[in-house]
Structure 1
Amino acid sequence: MEKKTYYIAVGSGEILEPEDVTGNFEFEIQATEEEVDKLQEIFEELAMNEEDTAVRAMIPYREYHADKENDAYDWNLTEIYRMLHELGTPDTRKHIEAMNVLPQ
């Protein structure tokens, strides 16, 4: 399958095609439709995890490191950056490496 260029805004969970870009993106990737679908699924899971962490935040005695909701959120966010690194342009890979967000 042919790879196309996409632009990613992690904070808003957007995957933009070149004609939709207005300058609000952080990363550029080259991906197939299947890879973009998988990335979109992970963004959707992250959004659900974000809601769960907001609910969990109302429970003051639960520590962050002992919290399955936060673990799921962290795992999905790391998976997004892993995929962006794998599919990214050289500049994207360099930027993600500089962020130090991927496990060694």
Structure 2
Amino acid sequence: MEKKPYYIAVGSGEILEPEDVTGNFEFEILATEEEVDQLQEVFEELAMNEEDTAVRAMIPFREYHLDKENDVYDWNLTELYRMLHELGTPDTKRHIEAMNVLPPQ
């Protein structure tokens, strides 16, 4: 399959095609439609995880690092950045590496 450019807005969970870009994106990737579908699944998981962590936040005296909901959210967020790094342009790869969000390999 042919890879096409896509533009990613992590905060809003958007995957934009070139004709849809208005300047509001953080990362550029080159991906097949299948890879974009996988990325969309991770965004959907993150959205569900955000709801779980919001509910958990209402429980007093429960520390962040002892919370499975936060662990799942963190894992999915790391997976998102791993995928963006893998599919990213050289600029995207450098930016993600500078963010220091991926575990050492």
Please tell me the TM-score bracket, short chain as reference.
Answer: over 0.9
SS for the counterpart of 1:62 is coil
CA distance in 1, matches of 2:25, 2:32: 19
Give the gaps of 5 or more residues in structure 2.
none
SS for the counterpart of 1:5 is strand
Name the residue aligned to 1:87.
87
TM-score by length of 1: 0.98
CA distance in 2, matches of 1:85, 1:32: 15
CA distance in 2, matches of 1:49, 1:6: 24
Deviation at 1:21, TM superposition (A): 0.2
How many equivalent residue pairs? 104
Percent identity of paired positions between Structure 1 and Structure 2: 90
CA distance in 1, matches of 2:9, 2:60: 31
Query: Residues 40-62 of structure 1: CA distance to partner in whole angstroms, max 9, x if unpaired?
Result: 00000000000000000000111
CA distance in 1, matches of 2:16, 2:29: 10
Give the gaps of 5 or more residues in structure 1.
none
| Structure 1 residues 29-48: aligned runs within 5 Å | 29-48=29-48
Name the residue aligned to 1:15.
15
SS for the counterpart of 2:29 is strand
TM-score by length of 2: 0.97
Query: Residues 71-100 of structure 1: CA distance to partner in whole angstroms, max 9, x if unpaired?
Result: 010001000000000000000000000000
Deviation at 1:63, TM superposition (A): 0.7
Segments ≥4 residues shifted beyond 3 Å: none
RMSD: 0.7
